């Protein structure tokens, strides 16, 4: 009996220590961010915008525990996840921003270490397979063969995995994100699925960033050279994440930010600590994203 009580005490102390460590880690991750450096605001020009359209396409949706969406403490019970893309139709070609996950995702992660596999299962709801991107496009009235390029905001599986089903389409990436994919190509972590990384690497076309300020961003890549679709660097969630401005008209503008913000409360409420992000230290670029998206 004494032995049992002693064991119970040890267990209790261990549990207390674990809770204390978790509390301290959460507090550290929730620390206030340094203020963002000042940036000039460069007003974009909207002269001579061509007629373009944007169509939101959902490849998949799911729910996950709310805590998985935030760096610090959360008030979210459930995190509503969407794997979706934005199809831009431009006179010079059609570009799909984000392509959902691969339909062979479960096979591609079959040999993952237990914890990484579990992390994926939580984030994907344990689904056996994602919808095939070409099928979703066709059901939205879009012929996948008409795509000029895909532009993943970053290489996480739910944004870039669909390249596995969209064969031969060029993949536009920032140089930093291509390096990130190469770095994690053989590590079997949640950062990039090795098979996705290898496929992306063979089809990657680097975005042509110029030292041309746009809004509050120091560099920009004007995709069609007419100011209608402008890509900016948005590191934080991953080192080479990008955001894309889509200017349908001077009054109708979209800023696609990928996972720079992944809960709708994050742009409005700072209590989520590191800006409501899953990974990502350093909130400076996300603050830029926030101010640009609200301007």
CB 131 → Zn ion: shortest distance, Å? 18
Position 98 contacts Zn ion (CB under 5 A): no
CB-nearer residue toward Zn ion: 191 or 216: 191
Please choose, out of 15-23, 90-98, 151-159, 185-193, the segment that lies near Zn ion by the rule CB under 5 A.
151-159
User: What CA–CA distance (Å, rounded) separates 135 from 114?
Assistant: 31
CB 247 → Zn ion: shortest distance, Å? 25
Position 156 contacts Zn ion (CB under 5 A): yes
CB-nearer residue toward Zn ion: 52 or 157: 157
CB-nearer residue toward Zn ion: 159 or 287: 159
Size of the site for Zn ion (CB under 5 A): 2
CB 151 → Zn ion: shortest distance, Å? 15
Residues 179-238 within binding reach of Zn ion (CB under 5 A): none
User: What CA–CA distance (Å, rounded) separates 264 from 39?
Assistant: 25
Beginning with the edge strand found earlier in the chain, give each strand of the sheet holding 147-151 in spatial order.
53-65, 78-90, 93-97, 147-151, 171-173, 204-206
CB-nearer residue toward Zn ion: 156 or 233: 156
Residues 252-281 within binding reach of Zn ion (CB under 5 A): 259
CB-nearer residue toward Zn ion: 60 or 259: 259
CB-nearer residue toward Zn ion: 57 or 157: 157
- Nearest 10 degrees: CA dihedral of 245, 249, 251, 254? -30
Q: How many CB atoms lie within 10 A of CB 107?
A: 12
CB-nearer residue toward Zn ion: 90 or 156: 156
Burial of 29 (0-12, 13-18, 19+ CB in 10 A): middle
User: What CA–CA distance (Å, rounded) separates 204 from 191?
Assistant: 17
CB 159 → Zn ion: shortest distance, Å? 6
CB 237 → Zn ion: shortest distance, Å? 5
CB 15 → Zn ion: shortest distance, Å? 32
CB 62 → Zn ion: shortest distance, Å? 14
Please choose, out of 17-25, 156-164, 216-224, 267-275, the segment that lies near Zn ion by the rule CB under 5 A.
156-164
| Footprint of Zn ion (CB under 5 A) | 156, 259
């Amino acid at each position: 009996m004494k032995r049992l009580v002693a064991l119970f005490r040890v267990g209790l102390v261990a549990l207390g220590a674990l809770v204390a460590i978790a509390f301290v880690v959460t507090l550290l991750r929730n620390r206030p961010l340094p203020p963002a450096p000042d940036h000039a605001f460069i007003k974009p020009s909207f002269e001579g915008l061509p007629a373009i359209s944007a169509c939101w396409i959902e490849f998949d949706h799911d729910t996950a525990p709310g805590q998985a969406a935030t760096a610090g403490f959360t008030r979210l019970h459930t995190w509503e996840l969407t794997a979706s893309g934005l199809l831009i139709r431009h006179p010079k070609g059609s570009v799909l921003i984000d392509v959902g996950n691969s339909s062979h995702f479960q096979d591609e992660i079959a040999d993952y270490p237990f914890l990484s596999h579990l992390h994926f299962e939580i984030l994907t709801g344990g689904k056996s397979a994602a919808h095939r991107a070409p099928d979703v496009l066709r059901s939205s009235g879009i012929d996948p063969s008409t795509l000029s390029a895909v532009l993943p905001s970053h290489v996480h599986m739910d944004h870039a995995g669909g390249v596995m089903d969209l064969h031969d389409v060029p993949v536009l990436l920032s140089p930093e994100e291509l390096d990130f994919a190469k770095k994690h190509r053989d590590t079997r972590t949640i950062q990039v699925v090795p098979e996705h990384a290898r496929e992306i690497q063979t089809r990657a076309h680097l975005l042509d960033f110029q030292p041309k300020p746009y809004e509050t961003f120091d560099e920009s890549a004007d995709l069609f050279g007419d100011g209608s679709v402008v890509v900016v660097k948005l590191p934080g969630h991953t080192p080479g994440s990008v955001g894309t401005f889509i200017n349908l008209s001077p009054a109708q503008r979209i800023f696609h930010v990928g996972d720079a913000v992944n809960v709708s409360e994050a742009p409005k409420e700072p209590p989520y600590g590191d800006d409501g992000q899953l990974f990502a230290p350093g909130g400076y670029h996300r603050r830029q994203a926030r101010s640009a998206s609200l301007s």
